[in-house]
């Protein structure tokens, strides 16, 4: 599924220097196109948000039962909590859990999860990052619609995350995204100042060291396409 001929030496040098790298045209065209179709038309999306300090994905069947009043209460809670600290709101499909539970067996995301944990992909990740202890990858599919966002965080939520999560990754699968639509992957310093912003470029893989302060800026109400990606961590176990 990786595009043949990728120059890992070039990307490894950038990662050593900056702790992050954006690899363009990383997947074969056929793989990227198949993933895009899957994300646009086939995934039974849930809704990921923070509830009482814990991440929760509301499943698609529960979302279908929600009434207008339920949505209004959810929106008010999310907006209030986002003003006070860490919060997020976006569509999610938790790929590892679905694979283990054998849900949606024909979904192409299952094949992609197996690829992420294959020898060629893990070797690519180790060579780019220089992190020889990477042993596996977890994954979720994400879809950001207008109003969706992910506030500032560094991927460390408990002590064990420092050892387990070695690098974060994002496979971007949005075509012709406009910077003023929001949905930018933004890297920050310890004081919250933005150091760099990356637009969701088609078939580009972002990899960055954990911990790194970052966020996904809020998608604008006038965005005419969803921000699509596969994201997760390369882990030791």
Number of domains, the chain: 1
d(CA 12, CA 170): 17
Give DSSP secondary structure letters for 21-51: EEESS-B-HHHHHHHHHHHHHT---EEEEEE
Contact 8, 49 (CB under 8 A): no
Give the closest residue to 221 by CA, choosing from 174, 169, 170, 181: 181
Residue 172 lies in a domain: yes
Contact 96, 139 (CB under 8 A): yes
Give the list of residues 6+ apart from residue 112 with CB closer than 8 angstroms, or none: 1, 31, 35, 95, 139, 230
Beta-strand pair 227-235/165-172: antiparallel
Element (H, E) at 128: helix 119-129
Residue 16 lies in a domain: yes
Chain CA centroid to CA 205, Å: 10
We report the CATH number of the domain holding residue 38 as 2.60.120.620
Residue 87 lies in a domain: no
Residue 72 lies in a domain: no
Give the closest residue to 34 by CA, choosing from 78, 67, 1: 1
Q: Which pLDDT does position 53 carry in this prediction? A: 86
Q: Which pLDDT does position 52 carry in this prediction? A: 86
Domain that holds residue 201: 8-43+94-235
d(CA 235, CA 217): 25
Helix (H, G, I), strand (E, B) or coil at 207: strand
Kindly calculate the radius of gyration of the chain based on its CA atoms and give it in whole angstroms: 17
Q: Which pLDDT does position 158 carry in this prediction? A: 84
> pLDDT truncated to tens, each residue of the chain (237 aa)?
999 999 899 999 999 999 999 999 999 999 999 999 999 999 999 999 999 889 999 999 999 999 999 999 999 999 999 998 999 999 999 999 999 999 999 999 999 999 999 999 999 999 999 999 999 999 999 999 999 999 999 999 887 888 899 999 999 999 999 999 999 999 999 999 999 999 999 999 999 999 999 999 999 999 999 999 999 999 998
């Amino acid at each position: 599924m990786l595009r043949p001929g990728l120059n890992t030496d070039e990307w490894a040098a950038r990662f050593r220097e900056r702790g992050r790298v954006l690899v363009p045209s990383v997947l074969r065209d056929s793989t990227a196109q198949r993933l895009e179709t899957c994300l646009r038309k086939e995934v039974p999306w849930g809704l990921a948000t923070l509830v009482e300090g814990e991440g929760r994905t509301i499943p698609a069947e529960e979302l279908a039962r929600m009434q207008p009043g339920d949505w209004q209460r959810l929106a008010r809670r999310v907006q209030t909590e986002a003003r006070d600290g860490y919060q997020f709101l976006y569509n999610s499909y938790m790929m590892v859990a679905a694979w283990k539970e054998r849900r949606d067996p024909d979904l192409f995301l299952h094949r992609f999860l197996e690829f992420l944990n294959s020898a060629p992909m893990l070797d690519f990740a180790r060579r780019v990052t220089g992190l020889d202890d990477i042993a596996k990858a977890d994954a979720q599919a994400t879809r950001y619609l207008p109003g969706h966002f992910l506030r500032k965080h560094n991927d460390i939520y408990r002590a064990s995350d420092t050892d387990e999560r070695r690098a974060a990754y994002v496979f971007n699968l949005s075509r012709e995204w406009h910077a003023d639509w929001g949905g930018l992957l933004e890297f920050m310093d310890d004081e919250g100042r933005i150091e760099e912003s990356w637009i969701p470029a088609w078939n580009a893989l972002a990899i960055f060291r954990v911990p790194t302060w970052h966020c996904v800026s809020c998608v604008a109400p006038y965005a005419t396409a969803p921000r699509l990606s596969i994201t997760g961590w390369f882990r030791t176990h």
